Amino acid sequence: MCRLLGGALIALAAIAPPGHALASQTFPARGSVEVAFSPADDPEALLIRVIDAARATLHVQAYVFTSRNIADALVRAHTRGVRVEVLADAGMNQRGGGGAMPRLLAAGVPVAFETRYAAAHNKVLIVDAQGAGCTVVTGSYNFTWSARNRNAENVIVLRDHCPLAQAYLANWQRHRAEAAPVTSLPWKP
């Protein structure tokens, strides 16, 4: 059985597209974990507390991003000198409307849209990945009113695990390298 499994993995490796790893990364447990579930808890308030704690860098990946409260927290961080950068799914955010993206762009926060994927479905905040207070936030939670008030969603905050934060940052940077900068809305590729 082991030989069969090993042979299957070798065969998969041979047909995997270049640059696509078949293995995951494993990290020893470290730091603290905090969770929130909507609508019973208030994940948005938790996200804003995490953003407010950022000291040096804040990298965001968002599928749907319409929350003005989260956008305002990111703008506050940007204003106090935190390097804030946002990646978002192009299809879900290109119109802008009165939500988050126009606020971020007006404040000078760098925004880029992901166009390579059918859905850039990540929901991630990476805070201070290179230093004290390193934090990763992820889960199903979109940055929207509906996620906060109507949907069953989850957020997990992983603090003080810098190798994990750096792995998330490396993934964020790969996505950013393929994304298109946005300077105004509505946006067209």
Q: Is 41 a catalytic residue?
A: no
Listed residue (34, 60, 57, 54) closest to 46, CA to CA:
34
In this structure, are residues 113 and 178 in contact, taking their beta carbons and an 8 Å threshold?
A: no
Catalytic annotation, pick one of 123, 160, 161, 175: 123
Known catalytic residue: 59?
no
φ, ψ dihedrals at 137, nearest 5°: -120, 130
Of 71, 72, 43, 50, nearest to 135 by C-alpha is 50
Residue 16 φ/ψ, nearest 5 degrees: -65, 140
Pick the catalytic residue from 41, 42, 72, 121.
121
Catalytic residue among 59, 78, 128, 161: 128
d(CA 135, CA 33): 10
Catalytic (active site) residue 188: no
As a dihedral over the C-alpha atoms of residue 50, residue 52, residue 53, residue 57, rounded to 10 degrees, the angle is: 90
Active site residue ranges: 121, 123, 128
